[in-house]
Chains A and B, each alone.
Chain A
Amino acid sequence: EAGVAQSPRYKIIEKRQSVAFWCNPISGHATLYWYQQILGQGPKLLIQFQNNGVVDDSQLPKDRFSAERLKGVDSTLKIQPAKLEDSAVYLCASSLDHLSYEQYFGPGTRLTVT
């Protein structure tokens, strides 16, 4: 079975620019998560989707971050405008549903903001 796909793998932008990340979860997985992993820290949840609806976005900085999962399959996370502190690895994960215990993670997108 194909794993969680993410692109791009690496991105370097200047502060105040915009950037978008793409995630394609495992086929049939209803729940999709975006995590932010800052160097030296564990991943932190940004947003959780159940199909195309948002379950939890309480830790998403909504003034600059947005995410969508329009058709309940793949998802896009956008940052506009980026700040230096947004430099991190952005991980996408999926699970069969929101009650599933096991989450499957993609390789991540490493963002550097200069």
Chain B
Amino acid sequence: AQSVAQPEDQVNVAEGNPLTVKCTYSVSGNPYLFWYVQYPNRGLQFLLKYITGDNLVKGSYGFEAEFNKSQTSFHLKKPSALVSDSALYFCAVRAYGGSQGNLIFGKGTKLSVKP
């Protein structure tokens, strides 16, 4: 069965410092991987995706993610964090089989960026 793990409930970073939000996955076949961000009282917003190609994927708001097949990881990164990056971040993998298209989400990681 496909699954996603986000091992950290919360990540605390000082503004201007680099940030990493971790994600590991388990899927049969080639994974399609996604990162979404959720601000309070708002829906999920797409950040970036990995389908194929370069292992380093660049997305919205200066975020990037590195796909590592051997470690089955897809960590989200940003070189310099902003206070406005504080939000809930979800990693997701696309499922296969009878439910083509739907996403399986991790439990989320709360990112807190302090001034």
Report chain B residues within 8 Å CB of A61: none
Q: Are A45 and B100 in contact (CB under 8 A)?
A: no
Within 8 A of B (CB), among A25-55: 31, 33, 40-45, 48, 55
The binding surface of chain A is classed by DSSP as loop
Q: How many residues does chain B have at the interface if contact means C-beta atoms less than 8 Å apart?
A: 26
Report chain B residues within 8 Å CB of A44: 105
Q: Are A101 and B105 in contact (CB under 8 A)?
A: no
A106 vs B45: C-alpha distance when bound (angstroms): 9
A residues contacting B by CB (< 8 A) are: 4, 31, 33, 40-45, 48, 55-56, 58, 91, 93, 95, 97-108
Report chain B residues within 8 Å CB of A101: 32, 34, 49, 51, 94
**A99-B100, A101-B94 in contact; A43/B49 too (CB < 8 A)?**
no
Q: Name the residue among B99, B101, B102 with the largest chain A CB count within 10 angstroms.
A: B102
Selected from A4, A33, A41, A102, the residue in CB contact (under 8 A) with B102 is A33
A102 vs B33: C-alpha distance when bound (angstroms): 11
Report chain A residues within 8 Å CB of B42: 107-108
